[in-house]
Amino acid sequence: MKQASFILFDNQDITKIGMHCLLQKYFPTEEMHDVDTKKDLQALLHRDSNRIVVLDYTLADFHDVWELFNMSQRYTATRWIIFSEELSRDFVNRIYASSENIGILLKDASFDECKLAIEESIRGERYINENLIHNSPEADETSTECDDKKVLSDTEQTILRLMALGKTTKEIAMEKNLSFHTINTHRKNIFHKLQVNNLHEATKYALRAGILSVAEYMI
């Protein structure tokens, strides 16, 4: 099995000690670091991104899941294992559908399951607890995305995507051969339908609904 370098980001002492014991027992020759903040994590990944991050997302200082996605896209060599207690179905769906390098492991998992998750990460694969996958199948995710998209018309989805990609109202008007006033009206209608107040919130909706992919957003 390939060599691995681990970063443990968990502010819960008892589970941190347990993960240390597991890593020392099954992977005693591998490098291991502890971090307590997102800033410390970024500093280590900036030096060497070819690492496995074992992360309690619920206790970490990430603003939201999209901030985690952004970091995973920036450090493409990094493998991630979210090691948390209870995770919402919406959160699991987003991870399952949007990222191939972020796995999920619940803290009530056995030592054998934890070992398996780490071994798969070392091999460059991702591990997601089987029960979580059964509770959030791809069909459900696709269905949710389709239902979300129905809120907006096809034209509004196109305009929202261009807005989320950073294009101005004037640029969108020129690209779609429409007036500035028409695009501005669409913009207002999009915000009203989504019940959001700014482009940041509208962009999060576009990512969640599949109107815009995380990869496109990061370009």
Would you state the pLDDT for residue 198?
86
The Cα–Cα gap between 91 and 62 comes to: 14
User: Residues spanned by CATH 1.10.10.10 within the chain?
Assistant: 142-218
5-136: what fold?
Rossmann fold (3.40.50)
* Its pTM surpasses 0.85: no
In the predicted model, is pLDDT for residue 155 greater than 80?
Answer: yes
Rounded to an integer, the average pLDDT of 10-22 is 91
The Cα–Cα gap between 94 and 168 comes to: 28
Q: Where are the beta strands (DSSP E) in 48-101?
A: 52-55, 79-84
User: Residues spanned by CATH 3.40.50.2300 within the chain?
Assistant: 5-136
The pair of three-digit structure tokens given for residue 152, joined into one six-digit string: 């907006």
CB 60 within 8 A of CB 80: no
The more confidently predicted of residues 147 and 163 is: 163
Indicate the residue type of 117. Answer: A
DSSP-based three-state secondary structure for 52: strand
In the predicted model, is pLDDT for residue 139 greater than 70?
Answer: no
Give the angle 33-81-19 at the CA atoms, nearest 5°: 50
CB 84 within 8 A of CB 57: yes
Distances (CA, A) of 79 to 52, 102, 133: 5, 6, 19
- pLDDT (tens digit, 9 = 90+) per residue, 160-202? 999 999 999 999 999 999 999 999 999 999 998 888 888 888 8
In the predicted model, is pLDDT for residue 114 greater than 70?
Answer: yes
The Cα–Cα gap between 88 and 215 comes to: 23
Rounded to an integer, the average pLDDT of 128-143 is 56
On the 0-12 / 13-18 / 19+ scale of CB atoms within 10 A, 110 is exposed
Would you state the pLDDT for residue 135?
53
Would you state the pLDDT for residue 51?
95
Which of the residue ranges 33-42, 66-75, 151-160, 208-217 would you say has the lowest mean pLDDT? 208-217
Indicate the residue type of 133. Answer: I
Which helix (H) or strand (E) segment holds residue 139: the answer is helix 138-149
The Cα–Cα gap between 24 and 15 comes to: 14
The more confidently predicted of residues 72 and 151 is: 72
Rounded to an integer, the average pLDDT of 134-154 is 55
In the predicted model, is pLDDT for residue 53 greater than 80?
Answer: yes
Instruction: Provide the CATH number for the domain formed by 142-218 in this structure.
Output: 1.10.10.10
In the predicted model, is pLDDT for residue 144 greater than 50?
Answer: no
Categorize the per-residue pLDDT at 143 as very low, low, confident or very high, splitting at 50, 70 and 90: very low
Give the angle 188-141-204 at the CA atoms, nearest 5°: 30
Extract long-range pairs of 137-141: CB within 8 Å, 24+ residues apart: 138/96, 138/97, 140/93, 141/93, 141/96, 141/97
Q: pLDDT over 70 for what percent of the chain?
A: 87
Close Cβ partners of 115 (under 8 Å, ≥ 6 residues apart): 22, 26
